[in-house]
Amino acid sequence: MSLKSLEKRNFLLENLDTRWLMASADTFADYPNDNTIKSLSIACICWFNTVKTQESEQFLTNTQSC
C-alpha cells in the first residue's frame, strides 16, 4: 500500500463514524454493478445493525455495571 493510500485511510478512519459507513454500504447495496458487491454490502448493513442493537441493549440494561 502506498504512503498516499495509508494517509487517506488514516484520515477516513479518524474522521468518519459508523453512520458514514452505513450510508456507504447502503449505496453499494442499492447501486451495484456486481451481485457479489450487493451481497457483501447487505451483509455489512446487517452486521452494523446487529452491533448497534447490542450496544443499545447494553446501554439500556446497564449490563456493564452488574
CB proximity list for 15: less than 8 A, separation 6 or greater: none
Q: Are 28 and 38 in contact (CB under 8 A)?
A: yes
Stretch 12-31: mean pLDDT: 84
Q: Taking the complete model, does pTM exceed 0.85, yes or no?
A: no
Q: Are 28 and 41 in contact (CB under 8 A)?
A: yes
Between CA 33 and CA 42 the distance in angstroms is: 14
Quick one: what percent of the chain has pLDDT higher than 90?
A: 14
pLDDT at 55 over 90: no
